[in-house]
Amino acid sequence: MNSKEFEQHYSGMLCDYVTVMAWSCDGTTLAATSAAGEVVLWQNGSLSTLQTTGKGESVDCVAFSQDGQFLAVGGQDGRVNIWRESELIATLENSPAWVDKLAWSPTCNRLAFSLGRYVQVWDAETREIVVQLNFDSSSVLGIDWRCDGEYLAIGGYRGVKVWNCQDWNDSPYILDIPSASLAIAWSPDGKFLAAGNLDQTLTVVEWNNPEPWVMRGFPGKIRQLAWSEPHTQEGAPLLAVSSVDGIVVWEKQADESLGWSASVLTNHVDVIYAIAFAPKSFLLASAAGDGWICLWQKAQNLSQILTGVSSGFSCLAWHPQGKFLAAGGESGELVLWSKVTPGEGFER
């Protein structure tokens, strides 16, 4: 390690374990939630509370709409709360279902959220439910829209189902996996769909190609997936995958018969709970229960270790322009680091 790419910019506290966080698309606001039910906003260097602990029921998912107009949160109480700025404009009551996955369409103000074995899609303009999708085989474990908003992928037991958002009545495409898909993610260019599975495998499908790649040999279940925005010289993004305390970075090869090559990143000594590429970069961040955030330059070399929590890190989120890296702690810490070294990790 020979560089200090980021330095601590802000530190605050929530009442409990920080469950998830998200930036607004313009980067002016960071939303963070806790296991005690809090929703807080970080803006201009200060923290404000949007929702207090209440009954202490966990908030487990948070997302800003693509235009930054709406903020949605869901959690243990079965409610989906939607704010426009600081005004609560809608509460979707779904108790006793636990809402732990939600995602806004990248092209319009439609919100998909999980309800047990179903996903509902709610329209912020009409304030109505557009469709209810039946995943059928299990509770929903993952939701991700493709970048063009034309397809919605839902993961769970027996793999991933992908619905055509232009015709919800069409039968979904099914990526059949003999296990449960715990983490799913479209690549930023919409060309690939990845599923990290309970049976210690990774499945990657190129859209409109019927033969998926299946990668094996992981030490445990796949917890997290992250795609890079830029492409390598071979014309595809990198895919980082975390399993237990290690990370595997997959790079597509030009020769189709070779598929994807793997490189292993090891430094953590506890379970990795979050990984993410910096925007427009191959700089990869990983956060773990050991209390370290590791920064991997070009998704290859460990360049810096960030600390600042009393126990472990639980989540992280990159600023949309890469200016800040935010992370939450198991004991309620909310920490932001600002970038001091331009250009690190961009080329590979």
Q: Nearest 10 degrees: CA dihedral of 251, 252, 253, 255? A: 160
Please report which confidence band the pLDDT of residue 348 belongs to, taking 50, 70 and 90 as the band edges. Answer: low
Q: pLDDT at residue 316 above 90?
A: yes
Condensed to tens digits (0 to 9), the pLDDT of residues 165-180 reads 999 999 999 999 999 9
Condensed to tens digits (0 to 9), the pLDDT of residues 1-55 reads 556 899 999 999 999 999 999 999 999 999 999 999 999 999 989 999 999 987 8
Q: Nearest 10 degrees: CA dihedral of 155, 158, 159, 162? A: -70
Whole-angstrom Cα distance, residue 158 to residue 323? 39
In this predicted structure, what is the pLDDT of residue 97? Answer: 84
Helix (H, G, I), strand (E, B) or coil at 302: strand
Cα 121 to its chain centre, rounded Å, is 19
In this predicted structure, what is the pLDDT of residue 287? Answer: 98
Copy the structure tokens of residue 131. 């469709």
Mean confidence (pLDDT) of the chain = 94
Condensed to tens digits (0 to 9), the pLDDT of residues 113-162 reads 999 999 999 999 999 999 999 999 899 999 999 999 999 999 999 999 99
Residue 209: how many CB atoms within 10 A of its CB?
11
Condensed to tens digits (0 to 9), the pLDDT of residues 68-113 reads 999 999 999 999 999 998 899 999 998 788 999 999 999 999 999 9
Q: pLDDT at residue 346 above 80?
A: no
- CA 85, 335, 318, 217 dihedral sign is negative
Share of the chain above pLDDT 90, in %: 90
Task: Give domain 218-348's CATH architecture.
Answer: 7 Propeller (2.130)
Share of the chain above pLDDT 70, in %: 97
Condensed to tens digits (0 to 9), the pLDDT of residues 246-281 reads 999 999 999 888 899 999 999 999 999 999 999 999
Whole-angstrom Cα distance, residue 143 to residue 114? 8
Domains in the chain: boundaries: 218-348
Q: 201 CB contacts (<8 Å, ≥6 apart)?
A: 177, 179, 214, 215, 216, 218, 222
Please report which confidence band the pLDDT of residue 342 belongs to, taking 50, 70 and 90 as the band edges. Answer: low
Condensed to tens digits (0 to 9), the pLDDT of residues 178-210 reads 999 999 999 999 999 999 999 999 999 999 888
In this predicted structure, what is the pLDDT of residue 43? Answer: 95
Contact 307, 292 (CB under 8 A): yes
Give the C-alpha distances (Å, rounded to integers) separating 39 from 18, 52, 134.
10, 7, 29
Whole-angstrom Cα distance, residue 130 to residue 121? 5
In this predicted structure, what is the pLDDT of residue 4? Answer: 85
Cis previous bond, 219, omega within 30: no
In this predicted structure, what is the pLDDT of residue 56? Answer: 79
Please report which confidence band the pLDDT of residue 347 belongs to, taking 50, 70 and 90 as the band edges. Answer: low
